[in-house]
Amino acid sequence: MQFLDIVNQKQKIMKKLHKVRFELTRNQSSHPECDPLDHSGISAMLMFMRSIIICDQFNREYSLITFFIFIIIKHVNMLSDFNSWYKTQPLFTRTYVSVLVLFGIIGKFKPSYLWYLMFDANKIFTLQIHRLFTHYFFSGTLSFSFIFHLLFIIFCIKNCEMMFEGSNYADFYYMILYFFITGDIMCWLFDYGFLSAAFCFALIYVWCKRKPFETVRFYFGFQFKSEYFPWVLIAFHAITDQDIVQDLIGLGIAHSYLLLKDFLPVTNSIALLETPQFFKNFVNKHIVKYAPFARNRFNQQQFQQPQRQQFFQGQGIRLG
């Protein structure tokens, strides 16, 4: 009986969809300038409805993702706009986000594979070195909430990366390396498997401390200066019953970086986090060429001629 009910429900929905298709086709013939959904789009919707009716709740998410793939392929202009937007993003931002999406898709279809990404000290001692870094590149499985979280991650990383331009671009990757090493220690101490949230919070904390007077627009149109953003974010996560321990871990990592990088060299003339010259040479030679904004500023700094110091800058008097 349950199967017959599903078949009858499917037939009713298919009749309604064919009726909608007929109405849209008739409206398109009478109004050629209006093309809300052509035959290929309707066919994609029909395929989506056929698949979603006969599947259970788990497979509906697969059907929904398939439907959106149809729509993206259908609208080539939207895909080209996304491609142009993707290329304008800073190098590390688009690379990190791409890996997050990749692992999010893998976690959606093969959750068991996520075990190979998480931090596990016992496995690291068995020479699974990749676990020192891969746990930063997973922030949840593919879903609508993941997409909104992804937009926040882009905001965090992009603003921080854009501060490091030209010859200072190597300092950004040296900071990332410091975050990874100290984050691994925190994973071992607090028994965390993934620490991407703390990593993003550390980046946003550095940006807020170095750019304290930027205007940040939060939910519900709430605006404030960027120096208060980390504390607003912690309060928001506490109210919404999210994990604030990772926020505090990211705050501690970023604060220790600023202490060693910006504060101690000025107060005590101790430079513990000075970027090594070989690291700068490697980044400037192999990475800067893939980062347009950093490459342009780096070329300006490289080819800018130093001004000669003029000791006598008088007006001059003609003799004779």
Residue 35 has a pLDDT of 41
Asked if 54 and 24 sit in the same domain, the reply is: yes
| CATH code where residue 243 lies | 1.20.1540
Asked if 129 and 49 sit in the same domain, the reply is: no
Its domain, for residue 150, covers 89-301
Strands 223-225 and 215-217: antiparallel
Classify the C-alpha dihedral 227-244-190-102 as positive or negative.
Answer: negative
In a domain, residue 306? The reply is no
In a domain, residue 307? The reply is no
Name 217's bridge partners: 223
In a domain, residue 285? The reply is yes
- Indicate the helix (H) or strand (E) that contains 223: strand 223-225
- pTM of the full predicted structure? 0.69
Asked if 104 and 246 sit in the same domain, the reply is: yes
Asked if 145 and 261 sit in the same domain, the reply is: yes
In Å, what is the CA distance from 134 to each residue of 65, 100, 139, 195, 268? 25, 10, 11, 10, 36
Domain boundary among 78, 99, 130: 78
Residue 90 has a pLDDT of 87
Tokens of 147: 């997409």
Tell me which residue of 216, 187, 204 sits closest to 153, measured CA to CA: 204
Query: What tens-digit pLDDT sequence spans the chain (320 residues)?
Result: 444 454 455 555 555 555 545 554 554 454 444 444 444 444 544 454 454 444 444 444 555 555 555 555 554 455 567 778 888 888 899 999 999 999 999 988 888 888 999 999 899 988 899 999 999 999 888 887 888 888 888 988 998 988 887 668 899 999 999 999 999 999 999 989 999 999 999 999 999 999 999 888 887 778 889 999 999 999 999 998 888 999 999 999 999 999 999 888 888 878 888 889 999 888 888 888 777 655 555 455 444 444 444 433 444 444 44
Integer Cα distance of 91 and 98 in angstroms: 11
Integer Cα distance of 168 and 288 in angstroms: 10
End-to-end CA gap in the chain = 117
Asked if 158 and 207 sit in the same domain, the reply is: yes
Asked if 153 and 259 sit in the same domain, the reply is: yes
Domain boundary among 57, 78, 99: 78
Whether 197 contacts 179, CB under 8 Å: no
Domain boundary among 78, 106, 131: 78
The residue type at 10: K
Asked if 117 and 193 sit in the same domain, the reply is: yes
Asked if 168 and 266 sit in the same domain, the reply is: yes
Residue 70 has a pLDDT of 53
What is the number of structural domains in the chain? 2
Tell me which residue of 182, 191, 164 sits closest to 91, measured CA to CA: 164
- 243 phi-psi bin (left φ>0, alpha ψ -120 to 50, beta other): beta
In a domain, residue 46? The reply is yes
Residue 42 has a pLDDT of 46
In Å, what is the CA distance from 159 to each residue of 60, 153, 164, 207, 253? 37, 10, 10, 7, 18
In a domain, residue 313? The reply is no
In a domain, residue 312? The reply is no
Asked if 242 and 277 sit in the same domain, the reply is: yes
193 DSSP 8-state letter: S
Asked if 18 and 51 sit in the same domain, the reply is: yes
In a domain, residue 310? The reply is no
Number of C-beta neighbours around residue 184 at 10 A: 19
Integer Cα distance of 297 and 294 in angstroms: 5
In a domain, residue 158? The reply is yes
Asked if 119 and 226 sit in the same domain, the reply is: yes
Residue 269 has a pLDDT of 78
Asked if 69 and 93 sit in the same domain, the reply is: no
